[in-house]
Amino acid sequence: MMRRSAPVLVLVLLTAVPEAPPRRIPNDPLFRQQLSFYAAPGPATMRRRSNGAGVDTVQVAPGVTLDAPGAWAVTTGSRSVVVAVLDDGFFYRHEDIAPNLWHNPGESGTDARGLPRSANGVDDDGDGYVDDVIGWDFAFDDPDPDPYVFDGMDRSRIQPYQHSAPALGIIGAAGDNGVGVAGVDWSVSLMLLKIGAQGVPRGQVDTARVRRAALAIRYAADNGARIINWSGFVDTTDPRILLPLREAVQYAADRGVLLVTGAGNDARDLDDDANCLYPQCFDLPNQIRVAQVGFDGRLYRYSVGGQLRGSNYGARRVEIAALGQNFTTALRDNLSTYAVSDGTSNAGPVVAGVAALVLSVRPDLDAVALKEVLLDSATPLPALRGRVASGGVVNAARAVKLALER
C-alpha cells in the first residue's frame, strides 16, 4: 500500500513595494519643457523658444533637477512671502508675472478723498517713497520700475530690458493657471527694485550703482521682503566705495533677510581674493552665492573666442549650485513669450524660489536658519565636492521636507 505524502505548505512572502513619493504637476501647457524642475535621468529634449524653431537635447544626470513637483505636493508657495528682485528694469506686464506682483499695502486702496493711493502723489505709508505700489525705480527716482529706458548696458539701445524676465518667471510665474509655465512658487509676492545702469556704455564704470543697490536692499528689508534676489554685481572692488553696500547687506541680515546672488560667469574661483566681485565676496551670514551646473551635473562651462567661460565657484564663498538652463518667461518684441535662459543669473533665482517655498511652510525661519535648510537639503553631486560649500545642488522637495522636520 502506497503511503501518501504529507501536504506541503508553501508560504509566499510578498515584499511591500514602497510607494512613490507624492508629486503635483501643474496644468501650464509649457511645463513639459521645464526639464530643470523635474526630469527623469537620461536623454531629454527641450524647445529653445515657445514661438520659434530649435530644440536642445540634454543628458540629465541623476539628482541634478529640482524635484519641484515633490515640493508642490506639500506647498505651492504663498502670497505672504515677499521676494525682492534687484535688476535694471522689469517687464512686469508679462502674462505669467503680473498675477504675482507685490502690492504695497500702504499704497493700495483709496485715500480719505476717495483717490487711489497708487496714483495720488502722496507718500501714504510714510516710507519716503511716493506711490511705490510694486517697488521703486532707484535709477530715475520714480515709482515705475519699468524696462523702457535703455537696455541696462548701452544708452544707444532704447529697448525693453530683458535680463530680469527669466528671473521673475523662475521664482514666481503663476502656476497651474493654464498659461505658459510654472514658477518655483505658483504663488508669491514679487517686489521690483530697479537699480538700472542709466545707459552707461560698456567699458565705463557706473559709479552710482553702489548707492542705488544699497538703497534698494534697505527698501526691501523695510518693506517686508524676506528674500532678495540679485542676479548682478557692482563695478568696483574699492572697500571705501563698497562700504554703503556692505552696510546695507548687514542691515538686511539684522532683519532676517536672505540675500541670494549668482556666483558670476567667469569660470573663476571666488575664494581667491583677486577674483572677487561684490556683493558676492562680502561673506556676511545672510548671503547665499549660487553656482550653475549643467544637466550633466558639472559646473557649467563653454568657450567664447577660445576663452573659457562659465560658472564661478568656491568651496568657501559659493554655497550651493542650481541648474541655470531653465525654460521660463521671456520677452520678445515687447510681448510676453517663453524661452530657455542661462547663466548664474538664472541659477540664483532657482534657489531664491526654493527659499520662498520653505518660508511658505516655515515663516518663522530667519535668514541663517533658512540658509541652513537649503544647504543641508542639497543633493550631493560628485563634481561639486570641493567646488561649493554644500557640495550639492538645491532640491525643492528635500528642502521643504527638512524645514517641516526641524
The answer to which of 8-12, 160-164, 353-357 has the lowest mean pLDDT is: 8-12
Q: Is the pLDDT of residue 75 over 90?
A: yes
Q: Is the pLDDT of residue 12 over 50?
A: no
Taking Cα atoms as reference points, which of 144, 147, 134 lies closest to residue 87?
147
Q: What is the pLDDT of residues 174-217, one digit of tens each?
A: 999 999 999 999 999 999 999 986 556 667 778 889 999 999 99
Instruction: For residue 249, tell me if it sits in a domain.
Output: yes
Average pLDDT, integer, range 31-41: 96
Mean pLDDT of the chain: 91
8 Å CB contact between 343 and 265:
yes
39 CB burial (10 A radius; 0-12, 13-18, 19+): buried
pLDDT recorded at residue 240: 95
Element (H, E) at 405: helix 396-405
User: Which 8-state DSSP code applies to residue 119?
Assistant: G
Average pLDDT, integer, range 106-133: 91
pLDDT recorded at residue 2: 46
Q: Is the pLDDT of residue 1 over 60?
A: no
Q: What is the pLDDT of residues 343-389, one digit of tens each?
A: 999 999 999 999 999 999 999 999 999 999 999 999 999 999 999 99
239: how many CB neighbours lie within 10 A of its CB? 9
Q: What is the pLDDT of residues 60-73, one digit of tens each?
A: 999 999 999 999 99
Question: How many domains would you assign to the chain?
Answer: 1
Q: 394-403 in b/e burial notation, b at 16+ Cβ within 10 A?
A: bbbbbbbbbb
Q: Is the pLDDT of residue 10 over 70?
A: no
Give the confidence band of 142 by pLDDT, cuts at 50, 70, 90.
very high
201 CB burial (10 A radius; 0-12, 13-18, 19+): exposed
Average pLDDT, integer, range 93-109: 95
Residue in the structure block whose three cell numbers are 574661483: 269
Instruction: For residue 193, tell me if it sits in a domain.
Output: yes
164-172 and 344-361 helices cross at what angle (nearest 10)?
30
Give the confidence band of 303 by pLDDT, cuts at 50, 70, 90.
confident
Instruction: For residue 20, tell me if it sits in a domain.
Output: no
Backbone angles phi, psi at 396, to 5 degrees: -65, -45
Instruction: For residue 24, tell me if it sits in a domain.
Output: no
Q: Is the pLDDT of residue 154 over 60?
A: no
Instruction: For residue 291, tell me if it sits in a domain.
Output: yes
pLDDT recorded at residue 102: 98
Q: Is the pLDDT of residue 3 over 90?
A: no
User: Which CATH number goes with the domain that contains 198?
Assistant: 3.40.50.200
Quote the domain boundaries for residue 322: 31-405
Q: Is the pLDDT of residue 108 over 80?
A: yes
Instruction: For residue 177, tell me if it sits in a domain.
Output: yes
Instruction: For residue 313, tell me if it sits in a domain.
Output: yes
Instruction: For residue 8, tell me if it sits in a domain.
Output: no
